[in-house]
Chain A
Amino acid sequence: MIETQRLTKHFKDVRAVDGIDLTVARGELVALLGPNGAGKSTTLRMLTTLIPPTSGTASVAGFDVVRQQREVRQRIGYIGQGNGAGHSQRGRDELLSQGRAYGMGLRQARTRAAELIDSLGLGDVADRTVSTLSGGQRRRLDIAMGLIHAPELLFLDEPSTGLDPQNRANLQEHILRLRAEHDTTIVLTTHYLDEADSMAERVIVVDHGRVIADDSPARLKAEHVGDTIRLGFDTEHAAAGAATVLSGRGGSAYGKELTIRTESGPRQVPGMLEDLRSAGLPVASVEVTRPTLDDVFLTLTGRSLREGGSKTDGTPVPELVEV
């Protein structure tokens, strides 16, 4: 569905996207994850024909994004980082003109708009001027506009930014259903790690315009971080002793605590406790932490995703959620 070769975009001296090779198959749900300024939006903007690549090629839905823009546009939907609805317009009108832009008949566009208004909970606000809507309501309107023509390939740039938890869950459900019912291919960018984690079966981590990891969330976590087991003891002496007993598992003692990094924490704990009991070292507390994608990012780049980079393009920096 998407195939890029050395896709690159430079803005003067900024290497926004720096040679990305990407292949996305039909029906996949892929999340692009990365800090502010990583090049996620720029990548999406090239794939949606909005900006020409500096070099490299991209084919989207079977057509070249530079030479066959119209064919590409007819097949994709795009929900950008900004607000798609004109502020002086009314929501329903915007949905209708969006449908018309995709060649839908007036009646068909009306029916479809009504459906989306209903399913995105916009019934009370669809006939108001867009500038009077709340940020989250506007965001849902954007999403409705992106879905009006039921595209086979959908790009979403931070779709859930600005939504409250309930609407976020609602949106995720919507996206998953779209995929289940219509086999829609979906590429989304997000800062919400839990979102990437729970929705996408494939996460592409981008930093400084390059892909630094590309795998399922589970494998990324297992491969790059693993679980952390923390064993608490009553004395430092016991902790040091435990480190010796479990030396084969690669632990390190610090104070009264022993920390072990491993691939499958929960399954290893019982064995460890057994070993320690036979060695006469009673464990006072046990804690197993599963890694987050943020940990993956930290391991890969040495920086936390939450700190992010600087933001220069004037759009508000979306908030990151604690996971």
Chain B
Amino acid sequence: MSAVLDTHGHDDHAHHPTGIMRWVTTTNHKDIGTMYLWFSFTMFLVGGIMALVIRTELFAPGLQIVDPERFNAMTTYHGLIMVFGAIMPAFVGFANWLIPMQIGAPDMAFPRMNNLSFWLLPPAALLLIVAQFTPGGGAGVGWTMYAPLTVQAPMSMDLTIFAVHILGASSIMGSINIITTILNMRAPGMGLMRIPLFCWTWLITAYLLIAVMPVLAGAVTMTLTDRHFGTTFFNAAGGGDPVLYQHIFWFFGHPEVYIIAIPAFGVISQIIPAFARKPLFGYTSMVYATASIAVLSFLVWAHHMYTVGMPVEGQLYFMYATVLIAVPTGVKVFNWVATMWRGSLTFETPMLFACGFLFLFTMGGFTGLVLSIVPIDVQLHDTYYVVAHFHYVMVAGALFSAFGGIYFWLPKWTGKMYNETLGKWHFWLSFIFFNMTFFVQHFLGLAGMPRRIPDYSLQFTEFNVISSIGAWGFGLSQLLFLYIVVSTIRSGKKAADKQWDGADSLEWTHLPSPPPYHSFETPPVLK
């Protein structure tokens, strides 16, 4: 027996099972990364269909295709699925694929836990989808799940709470894995201030996740016990306070915004230097700006709740702290533009998405500044202005960055090149339809259209028509993306090991395309 083991020795684990069992039992960071990305895209389509139900209902005044309860459920689960099912797993997918390769490690620090953190996601997603078909339908409470509306909600609320618990557990495990990998498994000579910025952004994000996911779990658990076990955390009649929920939720919710945005910054910080053929401007200040955004994100939560009736001193504090975030965010944007300045620029699809990101994310940043000013927010809070604002940050920010990242690394991951012309079409269609959908929503919000309403008064008709047409265009454009990815995998032309001139991280400089199943079994030699 021992002789057999000896001859196989180190290579034994390369004999992985095939077929479905390969994916169920895999502990390989590349396989798990791939599964995260496909899962995320599937959820993106599910959440997208919900968005189209919303936009179709809002195409015209009056109730046409769904009743108000179903409409509220759609807004709720569209939000939950996009945030927890699509965007967060997409960036965890990037982290899995890239972090070990970028720091010169063979795999993630805890491969089995890595498998578990992925396989927790499908049951959670299933709970969110099944919730739609339980008696009473999906809970129409908004993705923020404010009490005491949640206490009234049908049983789908309990499924949703359970799903949030599972998603939180998955995120925490993923974060522990990422932190341990980055801190302990860097190749010799790969100092912390040498790791690619993408790794830095994930290191910071992972700490944010560990800090706030338990807080969210606490908030929804309190909701659960208020619903079923006679507690009154959020009920004034029992000494509770409904606003308490909002404080707890947003203590999670504001860092959550950066949990989504910071890895997106990381991806952009890899793409722009590669196509400018010039090192990233201000690497060190980028690291500090990201860290300070993360720290500040814990101190500004109540700017989501200026109208709850907090004391004016509270409003002033949260306003000042919030506008302060504009400084490090500005630094990042300036750094990216300075990286492009006097570079040698080309505009392949990843760079188009990066420029689109820069342009639109900055607009989202500016509307964020407008909303941080309390007297203006009192006008705009809970209107379509806010809806427009956070879609500029989440879609044009995080999603565009993820698309850019996919086009950027697809040649590395698959060893095959995507169709550049179709990629550019995908960008321009997404860019135009995105703006058509969401730019006009600023006007709706300014004019006073509240969010989360299934029907609206007549003066809002025109912009809603435009927005709905844009949403359908945007949704259909994503099928083109699916086609591009699938046809690349099936029949793309061979990609070079270093497909992009200016790319300089280890996965490009030290590994072939596609990289071997186990990369860096011996650490790379760094100059």
Chain A partners chain B: no
- List chain B positions with a Cβ less than 8 A from chain A: none
- List chain A positions with a Cβ less than 8 A from chain B: none
